[in-house]
Structures are given as C-alpha cells and as structure tokens.
Structure 1
Amino acid sequence: MSTGLIIALVVIVAAVVVVAAALARRARGGNGGRNLRRRFGPEYDHVLARHDGDTKAADRELTERLERHGGLRERPLEPAERERFEARWAAAQEHFVDSPREAVAEVDRLIADVAGARGFPDGGQYEEQLAALSVHHAGNVQGYRRVHRAAATTGTAGDGSGADTEELRAAMLEARDLFADLTRSDQRAPVSHKAQRSHRPHLFQRHQVAGR
C-alpha cells in the first residue's frame, strides 16, 4: 500500500471520528434540551423568552438551577403550621375586597414564608428562592413571580378599582396554585396542575377572591 493511500485513509478516518463526535454532542444537547423542557414546562418557555430564544443560554441557566437546587429535600409541614398558613391565606383573601394591593402583598410574603418553612432558601433571597421553587414546582412557580411583581408595582388606581384591581386579582388567583401545592396534606410529590384544579381546598374558590 502506497504512502499516499495510507495518508488518505488516515485523513478519512479522522474526518469520520470528528463528524461522529459532533453528532454525538448535538444528540446529547438536543436530548438535554428536551429533558429540560419536559421538566420545567412553562418555566422553560419563560427562561427561553428572557434569553431572546437562545436555547443554549436557557438550557445553561436551567441546568445550573438543577445543579444548585436539585438535591433539596422539602420538609413536610406540621398540621398546625399548615393551618396557620391556610388561615393567613383566607384572611388575605377576605381582605382583598377592601384592600387588594395589601392583600396581594400579604400573599407574596405568605408564599415566601411557606417556601421557607418547606426548606427552600429564605424569602429574603427572592431570586434564589424562586429558582429553587422552579426546580421542584415548575408548573406553578409563575404564580409566585406574578404576585411578587404585582406586590412591588405601584398602580395608578389608588382606590383599587378598574383594570388595576383585575390584574391584582389575576395575580392572586395564579399564586394560589403554588400555595396549594406547598401546603397540601400529601407532600411527597408535586401535584399536577390539572389535579390541583379539581382538588383545591374550599378557601381557594375563585368567587371569594373576586369578592362575588
């Protein structure tokens, strides 16, 4: 076999190896992205939008969240703790009719307190607490984000009327799914969004928040 032929074969083999390695990396990245999308659901879309559609950046951020918080073990609530938290939610819900902004601010604090009691980072570290919650309660974490934003935003409708109140009500309604998830009696595994809608405690009924 001539030297030229040997060199040609070596070049071909090297090219095949390089292509195979590239395809393997792409396959691993694609599967990783699909796994992240499946795990995080709507939170994946939120992060992707924040990165202007850059899937690599979104995957990197969510992978980092998993590395930081994936090993967190949630502490079950004691019955007395759960009752106190549910009483606070009921009081905030009743208070919404007269003072919607104060009620939403209380719900924001309440979710932070419940999450802290379950073993998540302290509520004073909102971003870190939100990141940890997104790993374990991805389907409902948007409710916390929305109510926190609503609580921090100063509206123009100081009397609590019109569209401003509707936005606050919608934020509170969305936050109740995460609250229900964090305070449910069986805390061994996250509850699906569909299951929550069919098994919410009575204090989560929509008409109560709406003041009807």
Structure 2
Amino acid sequence: MSPTATIILIVVILVVIAAVVYGVQVMRRKQLQNTFGPEYDRAVADTGSRTEAEKELREREKRHASFELKPLSPEAQSTYAANWEEVQIQFVDSPVEAVTAADDLVTRLITDRGYPTAEYDDRLANLSVEHARTLEHYRKAHEISRRNSAGEANTEDLRQALVHYRALFADLLGADPVPSTGTTTPTAPVSAPAAEESTSEAPAPRTPADESPARDTSR
C-alpha cells in the first residue's frame, strides 16, 4: 500500500470513529431529553453548559436507580385521595391552612413512594427522573406556599397553589385524587399540562356543595 493510500485509509477511519462518537452523543442526548423533558432545558440554563447539564442529569439517573421506589396499594391510594378531598374542602373556610396541609400531604406522599427525605432542591432533583413534566407545578406551588408562610399570598394565589400541588399529587398517586362524577366541576386530568401553559382555566378547589362528606381516615 502506497503512503498516500495509507494516509487516506487513516483519514477515513478517523472520520468513521468521529461519526460513531458523534452518533452516540446525539443518541444519549436524545435519551436525556426524552427522560427529563423540560427539566433538560432548565438544567442547561442553570449550568450554562450542555456538557455539565448532561453530566448532572446522568448523575440523577444513577442516584434514582438506587432508590427503592414502590407503587401505592389500592388502600393507600384511597386514603390519600380522601385526604386530598379533605384539603380541598378545608380550602373553602381556611385557604391558608389548606395550602400548608397540601404541602405536607405531597411531602408525605413523596416519602411513601420511596423517595429519600431530602432538602427541597434535592427532592426536585430526585423527582425529575420520573416526574419531570409535573415538576414545574411543584416549584410554583412551593413558591406560593413560601409566600403563604410569610403572609404574602392572596386567596387567588392560594387557589393556584392547590391546583399546582394537585398536578404533582396526581402524578405521584397514579390517579386523579378527586375524579369527576359528571355532576361536579370538571377536574384536571392526571397527565397535567406543563406548568408553562396557562393555568387560568384550571378549576378551583370544589366547594362543600360539590363534595361528598370527607371520609374519616383516622382509622
């Protein structure tokens, strides 16, 4: 083989290797984008580097794989749905307390699903692997809850917080906690729309006239 042919062969091999490496990178990037949805773009924006963001997201996947996550039993689902219904009824007379109760209930559900007890930011990272598409709802609800604790949230803010909490709550629960019966105000579907979309049409928590009496879940 002549020196020229050897050089051409080496160049071709290098081009093929580069194409394979690039293809693998594209495939892995696409996989991360499919897994994390809007959280992928948020991670890129937060880190300022696509490479660093993808490294962080892969670390989240590894950490998530170590969790012993478990689905809720039908009995636990029913109990949580009843508890949520009570929170919505409580909102009518005590919206401030209801939003606090919603935050506590969501946190308890996160723990019962098998996610480790963690600080809020860590909780977001842990949830982002399987619940990325409702995570922005959680952020907005948490921010309103923080303002609520400082006495800075009005009733409409609190109503929106409950709508946002319900989106993540339903995602974790695996069912709409207050399904429509055909005679009550329609509720949002389980696969809640991304929080970037308008929530102005989201239903308000139902009133006592709409609700059946809260079940006693203390037993």
Name the residue aligned to 1:190: none
Counterpart CA distance in 1 for 2:189 and 2:44 is 24
Q: Which runs of 4+ in 1 moved over 4 A?
A: 154-158, 209-212
Name the residue aligned to 1:85: 80
TM-score, normalization: structure 2?
A: 0.69
Letter in 2 for 1:14: I
TM-score, normalization: structure 1?
A: 0.71
Counterpart CA distance in 1 for 2:139 and 2:40 is 14
- Work out which of the residue numbers 53, 59, 74 in structure 2 matches 1:64: 59
> Which deviates further from its counterpart, 58-67 or 40-49?
40-49
Q: 1:195 to 1:89 in 2, by over 3 A?
A: closer
Equivalenced residues, count: 189
Instruction: After TM superposition, give the deviation of residue 155 of structure 1 in Å.
Output: 7.8
Instruction: After TM superposition, give the deviation of residue 121 of structure 1 in Å.
Output: 1.2
Gaps of 5+ in 1: 187-192, 198-204
Name the residue aligned to 2:11: 15
Q: Quick check: 1:178 aligned with 2:173? A: no
Counterpart CA distance in 2 for 1:83 and 1:148 is 25
SS in 2 for 1:206: coil
> Does the aligned pair in 1 maintain the 2:70–2:114 contact within 8 Å?
yes
| Residue-by-residue CA offset, 1:60-84 (whole Å, 9 max, x unaligned) | 2211111111354532223443333
Q: 1:95 to 1:41 in 2, by over 3 A?
A: same
Name the residue aligned to 2:39: 43
Structure (1/2) with the larger helix percentage: 1
Name the residue aligned to 1:112: 107
Gaps of 5+ in 2: 177-187, 193-201, 211-219
Q: Quick check: 1:100 aligned with 2:109? A: no
Task: Give me the CA root mean square deviation.
Answer: 3.3
Counterpart CA distance in 1 for 2:136 and 2:26 is 25
Q: 1:92 to 1:195 in 2, by over 3 A?
A: closer
Counterpart CA distance in 1 for 2:106 and 2:190 is 20
